[in-house]
C-alpha cells in the first residue's frame, strides 16, 4: 500500500499479445468478483498478509475487499489484468513508473486492514521508500 498521485495509464489500444493456444485473455470489470476471490484464496496463507490480517475468521473477506480494490480501482484503471479463460488464475501488471497507487486507492485499501491499518501503512511506506531508494542506487533514470 503506497501513496502518491500519478496519472500514468496504459493505453487501452495497446496491443495485447496472448500466448499461443489462447489460454489467457485480458480481464474486464465483469471479472473482478471472481478474480478477487481467486486472489484471496491464493494469498490467504501469505506470511505478510497473515500478519497484517491476523484474524483467520475475517482474513478471507478482508483479502477479497483488498484485491477487489486493487483490481477495480488500481490495476484495471492503470495497467492490465490478465486471466485464464476459466478465471482460475490472474496476473496484475503495471507499466513502468505507474507503481505508485493514487491516494484515493490507498485510502480505499486501508479499509481492508481494519484495526491493523497503522501496521499496513508502515509496511507500505517502507516498501515505497525502498523502491525509490533502490531506483536511485541502481542509477535508474526514472523509476517513478
pLDDT tens digits, residue range 45-95?
Answer: 999 899 888 899 999 999 999 999 999 998 999 999 999 999 999 999 988
Q: Kindly report the three-state secondary structure assignment for every residue of 71-119.
A: HHHHHHHHCEEEEECCCCCEEEECCCCCCCCCHHHHHHHHHHHHHHHHH
Query: Is residue 16 in some structural domain?
Result: no
Contact call for residues 26 and 15 (beta carbons, < 8 A): no
Query: Is residue 113 in some structural domain?
Result: yes
Query: Is residue 2 in some structural domain?
Result: no
Query: Is residue 8 in some structural domain?
Result: no
pLDDT at position 97 is 74
Higher pLDDT, 3 or 125: 125
| pLDDT higher than 60, residue 138 | no
Contact call for residues 114 and 62 (beta carbons, < 8 A): yes
Q: Which domain holds residue 116?
A: 24-137
Query: Is residue 19 in some structural domain?
Result: no
Query: Is residue 143 in some structural domain?
Result: no
Query: Is residue 142 in some structural domain?
Result: no
Q: What is the pTM of this model?
A: 0.70
**The three grid cell numbers given for residue 13, joined into one nine-digit string:** 489500444
Query: Is residue 129 in some structural domain?
Result: yes
Q: Is 28 exposed, middle or buried (0-12, 13-18, 19+ CB in 10 A)?
A: exposed
pLDDT at position 109 is 76
The tally of domains found in the chain comes to 1
Amino acid at each position: 500500500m503506497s501513496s502518491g498521485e500519478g496519472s500514468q495509464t496504459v493505453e487501452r489500444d495497446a496491443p495485447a499479445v496472448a500466448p499461443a493456444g489462447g489460454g489467457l485473455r485480458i480481464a474486464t470489470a465483469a471479472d473482478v468478483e471472481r478474480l478477487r476471490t481467486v486472489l484471496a484464496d491464493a494469498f490467504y496463507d501469505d506470511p505478510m498478509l497473515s500478519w497484517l490480517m491476523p484474524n483467520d475468521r475475517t482474513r478471507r473477506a478482508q483479502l477479497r475487499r483488498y484485491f477487489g480494490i486493487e483490481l477495480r480501482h488500481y490495476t484495471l484503471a492503470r495497467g492490465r489484468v490478465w486471466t485464464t479463460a476459466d478465471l482460475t488464475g490472474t496476473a496484475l501488471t503495471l507499466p513502468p513508473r505507474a507503481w505508485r497507487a493514487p491516494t484515493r486507492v490507498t485510502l480505499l485499501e486501508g479499509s481492508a486492514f481494519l484495526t491493523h491499518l497503522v501496521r499496513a501503512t508502515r509496511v507500505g511506506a517502507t516498501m515505497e521508500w525502498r523502491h525509490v531508494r533502490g531506483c536511485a542506487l541502481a542509477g535508474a533514470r526514472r523509476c517513478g
